[in-house]
Amino acid sequence: MQVLYRSTRGTDKAYTASEAILKGLSEDGGLFVPDRIPKLDLPLSALAGMTYQETAYEVMRRFLTDFTAEELKQCIENAYDEKFDTPKIAPLVEKNGTFYLELFHGATIAFKDMALSILPHLLTTAAKKNQVKNEIVILTATSGDTGKAAMAGFADVPGTRIIVFYPKNGVSPIQEKQMVTQKGKNTYVVGITGNFDDAQTGVKKMFNDKELAAQLDAAGFQFSSANSINIGRLVPQVVYYVYAYGKLLAEGKIHEGEKINVVVPTGNFGNILAAYYAKLMGLPLGKFICASNENKVLYDFFSTGCYDRNRAFMLTNSPSMDILISSNLERLIYRIAGNDPEKNSRLMEGLAKDGKYEITDEMKQNLQEFYGNYATEKETAGAIRRLYEETGYVMDTHTAVAEAVYEKYRQETKDETKTVIASTASPFKFTRSVMNSIDGKYDALSDFELVDQLSRIAGVRVPKAIEEIRTAPVLHDRVIAAEEMPQAVKEILGV
């Protein structure tokens, strides 16, 4: 049975998966959601023997129903290959009785690689299926990881160009160096004098600018998105949790049907929403523990039912979570509003107009499976140091936010359900923050001296992604104000 996609803000038209992937964002500003969540109708025990690629096929074929088996298998094969530094793709590591799902073994050492390795293949396949003649322009805002992972995926892919906007002073030095040294004739990186929310808002405005769309179309271009607003990013993320469950079964850590909890460090909410979709498919998941840093808008939402972005924007040591507008939360709001686009639209209008909205008591009842909390900078650093001292395992700052929040959850609830923490980035991506957390003496070292020292103390080889940028020349140095983004796009495309 075919799964079709509708906007969270209107039901006038249903789209196939390939059409929704191509469009990225609905014309009415809403996000595409499946009209039903397909069931994972196979024995859970079967998951135990599957590779990551096999698991991906079983999950994704149920959502992307207008892709043929051959098309989907080809996309998966092209995505999850030697670009990853382990054939496991996403190893599950146990430390102190907790399981860390390492989602950072791809080309840019962050979890965004997991979905952004396959999105270019889904997108170009979708373009062929829909007889698209225009060149596809991927327009993306990044808080640090999405941009580099998207560019790595799309670099020199025929029929595409990619333009990435990032907050000039809102990413780590390693993140910035990875982006501004990106090769590829079709890749463009632009810094903005603002924060991630400014970049994301600018991108959304361009998607909804009909005059700009007409100008682009006349010149042979059309926009699509690599942000997690694209359903082609969200569906591949569902795979993580199904795969992790299969590995726990394979290793005899759980029995078939046993519930597990998941902890996800999140700013934009896509990764944890994917876990929720996995549960709706039938995966035995218990609590969804939503971990925030000091930009704790999601924690406040789960605590009060009020989403309020009217607050100071904090720059933290977990910059990929420095977000006050969690775009993917809209997909959850739509669902707990009874899949009612009018209710959802009213709330989103409130967010756009007043910077806040409040859900009803009835909607709050539908959030019982979610637990939200946050970690301060001090708590994040403490979590890194403690796990290293106890086990020798070094985690990055984002994973440490999840670790600290999970510890709060356990103390509050005494829940000892087996738990998977989504480990979303390599510690090598945030070496200064990580090494300072372990011992302040490291702060005197340069960025790449820190990389080598981290490799020594963790007993882990320096990732290829870091070695490549040690001496790489800067290829992108443009910095603009947020309001200049549309003009920059026109100049890049020669429109």
CA neighbor of 228 nearest in space, from 188, 192, 274: 274
Cα separation, 434 vs 429, whole angstroms: 9
Cα separation, 38 vs 71, whole angstroms: 20
Q: At what angle do helices 377-391 and 431-438 cross, to 10 degrees?
A: 70
- CB neighbour list of residue 156: distance below 8 Å, 6 or more residues apart: 184, 185, 186
Contact (CB, 8 A) for 74 and 128: no
CA neighbor of 401 nearest in space, from 422, 415, 418: 422
| Neighbouring-strand partners of residue 150 | none
Q: How many residues does the chain have?
A: 495
Task: Give, in order, the Cα–Cα distances in Å from 334 to each of 12, 14, 186, 250, 343.
Answer: 16, 16, 36, 36, 8
Of the CA atoms within 13 Å of residue 332, those in its CB half-sphere come to 29
Where in the sequence numbering do the catalytic residues fall? Answer: 112
Rounded to 5 degrees, φ, ψ at 322 are -80, 80
- CB neighbour list of residue 312: distance below 8 Å, 6 or more residues apart: none
The tokens for 337 are 């509003």
In sequence order, what E strands does 24-118 have?
32-34, 92-95, 98-102
First CA to last CA distance, the chain? 42
- CB neighbour list of residue 414: distance below 8 Å, 6 or more residues apart: none
Among all chains, which residue has been given the structure tokens 């146990």?
94
The tokens for 411 are 């103390």
Rounded to 5 degrees, φ, ψ at 167 are -70, 120
